Amino acid sequence: MKSINSKIINLKYGKGCKIIKPVNIYGSKFGNNVFVGPFVEIQNNTLIGDNTRIQSHSFICSNVTIGKNSFIGHGVMFTNDDLKKGKITRNSKFFKKTKIGNDVVIGSNSTLLPVTITSGTVIGAGSTVTKNINVKGIYAGSPAKLLRKI
């Protein structure tokens, strides 16, 4: 049986970080006490805040910032291309940014297009976030809609 390899390249990280291999992490910066579960890929130009947990099988693409004390569930997928031109953007200088605030919970198997999510928000499992979330609350569905403010 072939072994599963991990690649961790140009990762800057604070104290108390825990990474469960296998993972692929490229050109990222982690704060203190960040947890990354197995089978996660985190691409370049990403910033993960203190005390944030990223569960297994998640994909965090380039240009994503996740704030402090946040939780990313299992199998969460981030994108950096909104496909507005009807085709895949191949030039990384045109990739969009995603910004997740502090104290955000994103449920398992959610998908996030390039968006901004305000601090203190909860995204239900299996949701698709297609627009910026500027009001703190609980959101769910595909596309994700506000269920109630918190």
Side-chain-side CA neighbours of 110 within 13 Å: the count stands at 25
For Cα atoms 136, 119, 53, give the angle at the middle one, nearest 5 degrees: 125
Per-residue pLDDT tens digits for 7-61:
999 999 999 999 999 999 999 999 999 999 999 999 999 999 999 999 999 999 9
Distances in Å between the Cα of 82 and the Cα atoms of 62, 88, 95, 96, 131 are 13, 9, 9, 8, 11
Domains and CATH numbers, the chain: 7-80+93-149 (2.160.10.10)
Query: Is 57 a residue of the active site?
Result: yes
CA distance between the termini of the chain: 49
Note the pTM of the prediction, 2 decimals: 0.94
Kindly name the residue from 21, 29, 57, 96 that is annotated as catalytic: 57
Proportion of the chain in helix, strand, coil states, percent, rounded to 5: 0, 40, 60
Q: Confidence class of residue 2 from pLDDT cuts 50, 70 and 90?
A: low
